[in-house]
Amino acid sequence: MNNKTFIDEIAKKLDTDAEEAQLQVDTLVGMLHTLLTDGSSLNVKDFGTFSPKTKAERKMYNPSTRTFNIVPARTTIGFKMNTALKDKVNA
């Protein structure tokens, strides 16, 4: 399911148009991201847990400009599924 299909489904469920649905999804995702950057985790029933994962600072080499740069540290999203979701998927 690509993004377009996903948004269309949401729009159908929410009874709105695709544009509105995209905006709302963006809001939700943004909220989740902020939450995780603060260090919190989110447990969604019958789905899974979203937790923050920290990536350390690292050096990277850019061959075209031939310089070394530092990629700053950042927080990414980690996800672990629940048993309910596992059963649904393995069914």
Partner 1 sequence: MEKYTLQTFIDILVKQSGLSKKTAEALSKAFFDTITEGLTTDGFVKIKGFGTFRIVEVADRESVNVQNGERILIAGYKKVAFVPADTATPASSGEEPIPSVQLELPDEQLSDTPQDAFSGIDMLISTPETLEDIRQQYALAKARAEETLRQANEAYAEQVRLQRLLQRLEAQAPVPLTPNSSPLPSDSQVTETPAETEESLIPEPQVTEAPAETEAPLPEAPSPLPEEPEEDDENETRPMSWVHWLLIPLAGILLALLAILVYKKCNSDSSPLPSDPSPAVPQRKERPTPPTPSKEQPSDLPQKKDTVAAPKPSPKQDKRPRTYVVQPGESLTRISKKIYGTADSVRAIIRLNRFPNPDNVPAGVEVKLP
What residues line the site for partner 1 (CB under 8 A)? 1-3, 5-6, 9-10, 13-14, 24-29, 31-32, 34-35, 39-45, 47-48, 59, 62, 65, 67-72, 74, 76-79, 81, 85-86, 88-91
Specify the residue, 56 or 89, whose C-beta has the smaller distance to partner 1. 89
Both tokens of 41, joined, read 């985790």
Q: Which residues lie below 8 Å from residue 76, measured CB to CB, with a gap of 6+?
A: 52, 53, 54, 55
Nearest-approach distance from CB 44 to partner 1, in angstroms: 5
Phi, psi of 53 (to 5 degrees): -125, 125
